[in-house]
Amino acid sequence: MSIVASDIVIYSSQNMPQDDLTVAGGDINSGIRVVFDDIVTTGVMSAVSSSASDTGNLTVIGRDNVGIIQTDTFQLNGTTPVNGTQVFERILSCSTSTVSVGTVAISGTALVGNIYPTESGFLRPFYGATANAAGGANKVLYEKVFVKNNSTTNALLNATVEEIGSGLYSIMQFGLEKSQNYTESVANRLTAPTGVTSYGSGVSGVADTNIAPLSAQGTWLQLTLNAGTPASNSFYQLQIAGGTT
């Protein structure tokens, strides 16, 4: 069966720091994705699973309508939809207390994201990243994600990664690790990894040419925050391409 969109997933690394002091990167975390659709209308979240076995807690972290980070934890009730109580303006992360059995759909007025079987959530990279005010120091932050091929039967052939010119593209770049399934971490997200030779935005072939079934290409995201960079709620967009039989 050919590679389809659901086979190519961008996961977090084991260390996704919430400040500029703690470790970043490491191995892949195949339970946490970094791709979801943020809410478009301020409101509470709801969740429902495709499996009656999903009855653990769901924790939603986001900002309320005045910018304060809030946490809403509520219990899943299998295939019966349940609502949270906290009003969110944006979502930072969603996680279940145990790995999902079914697919847990988390929604506001529209679907925000799914937590898939054997996985436990999704999050936003660069949590809490803060630009200094004009006159302060510039920063360059690094956080690591993985482009994984979840197909068990097909490789993505001559795979490439490319930035799409939208969202934060003007202050972000990506760099591919020198080999797949590479596990480098850095002391903190202000420290550049050594396993990346260059950063850019154009089409870049992955290490080892193809992404084999269940293999993953480590990808460091580089965020440049010059002093005076305004606050924003935005996104970074990557395109993964290749051949499939």
Partner 1 sequence: MLGFHAISEQPFSTVEFIGELIVQFQSIIPIEIQAQVNPNIRTLDWIIQLNNDWTLANNNTVWHIKCQ
Choose which of 28, 32, 131, 196 interacts with partner 1 (CB under 8 A). 131
CA dihedral 141, 167, 107, 84 (to 10 degrees): 50
Q: Which residue's CB is nearer to partner 1, number 57 or number 234?
A: 234
**Contact yes or no for 131/139 (Cβ under 8 A):** yes
Find the shortest distance in angstroms from Cβ 82 to partner 1. Answer: 23
Structure tokens at 55: 């009855």
Question: Under the phi-then-psi rule, with left for phi > 0, alpha for psi from -120 to 50, and beta for the rest, what region is 25?
Answer: left
Asked if residue 209 binds partner 1 (CB under 8 A), the reply is no
Asked if residue 114 binds partner 1 (CB under 8 A), the reply is no
Asked if residue 230 binds partner 1 (CB under 8 A), the reply is yes
85: CB partners within 8 A, 6+ apart: 44, 72, 74
Q: Which residue's CB is nearer to partner 1, number 43 or number 56?
A: 43
Find the shortest distance in angstroms from Cβ 80 to partner 1. Answer: 28
- Residue 14's nearest CA partner among 183, 188, 231, 147 is 183
For 100, counting Cβ atoms within 10 Å of its Cβ (0-12 exposed, 13-18 middle, 19+ buried), the class is buried
Q: Using CB under 8 A, count the residues that bind partner 1.
A: 53
Q: Which residue's CB is nearer to partner 1, number 36 or number 74?
A: 36
Q: Which residue's CB is nearer to partner 1, number 102 or number 148?
A: 148
**Contact yes or no for 239/162 (Cβ under 8 A):** yes
Asked if residue 41 binds partner 1 (CB under 8 A), the reply is no
Handedness of CA 58, 121, 92, 111 (dihedral sign): negative
Find the shortest distance in angstroms from Cβ 124 to partner 1. Answer: 5
Choose which of 145, 176, 196, 211 interacts with partner 1 (CB under 8 A). 145
Place of tokens 């068990």: 152
Strands 204-205 and 46-49: unpaired
Chain positions 63 to 92 lying near partner 1, rule: CB under 8 A, are: 90-92
Asked if residue 124 binds partner 1 (CB under 8 A), the reply is yes
What is the distance in angstroms between the CA of the first residue and the CA of the last residue of the chain?
7
Give the chain's largest Cα–Cα span: 55
Mark 153-192 with x for binding to partner 1 (rule: CB under 8 A) and - for no binding: ---xx------x--xx---x--------------------
Binding residues for partner 1 (CB under 8 A) = 2-5, 8, 10, 34-38, 90-92, 124-126, 128-133, 135-136, 145, 156-157, 164, 167-168, 172, 221, 223, 225, 228-245
